[in-house]
């Protein structure tokens, strides 16, 4: 699947609160240190290298949005999931775009959330 065929969405297209009913499920494919530094509340963390082994955690029949730092890793995972029949889109501007728009994030511990 070429990059122009990958279903996509930007941070501006998503609701601010992704924990509400009807909101898409965000699958964050960044590494654990990136996740710990700052992520979107309600997101499911599955590092890119673990996606194939953890496919059973990604529900079918639900709107899925895949996110990474900039949209590159998530584009690859989005393409893979789309080919497998998931209803999935790539967050093209990634966590960088999410943070730049002042969207809410959480971090592990007491740290101020940030994007690595």
Q: What is the pLDDT of residue 2?
A: 56
- Residue 1's nearest CA partner among 91, 83, 103 is 83
HSE-CB at 10 with a 13 A cutoff on CA atoms is: 5
Q: What's residue 18's pLDDT?
A: 87
Question: Are 41 and 104 contacting, i.e. CB atoms less than 8 angstroms apart?
Answer: yes
Q: Which two tokens stand for residue 63?
A: 């709107």
Question: pLDDT value at position 38?
Answer: 97
Determine whether domain 3-14+22-100 maps to CATH 3.30.300.30.
Answer: no
Q: What pLDDT was estimated at residue 4? A: 66
Residue 68 annotated as catalytic: yes
pTM of the model: 0.94
Dihedral of alpha carbons 12, 18, 24, 28, sign: positive
- What pLDDT shows up at residue 109? 86
Phi, psi of 44 (to 5 degrees): -100, 125
The active-site residue out of 9, 46, 64, 68 is: 68
pLDDT for the residue 20:
87
Full pLDDT tens readout for the chain, 116 residues: 655 689 999 999 999 888 888 899 999 999 999 999 999 999 999 999 999 999 999 999 999 999 999 999 999 999 999 999 999 999 999 999 999 999 999 999 888 999 99
């Amino acid at each position: 699947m070429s990059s122009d065929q990958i279903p996509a969405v930007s941070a501006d297209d998503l609701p601010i609160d992704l924990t509400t009913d009807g909101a898409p499920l965000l699958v964050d494919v960044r590494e654990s240190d990136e996740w710990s530094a700052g992520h979107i509340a309600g997101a499911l963390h599955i590092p890119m290298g673990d996606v194939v082994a953890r496919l059973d955690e990604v529900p079918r029949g639900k709107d899925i949005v895949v996110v990474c730092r900039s949209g590159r890793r998530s584009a690859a995972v989005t393409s893979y999931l789309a080919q497998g029949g998931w209803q999935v889109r790539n967050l093209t501007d990634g966590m960088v775009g999410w943070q730049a728009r002042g969207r809410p994030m959480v971090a592990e511990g007491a740290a101020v959330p940030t994007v690595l």
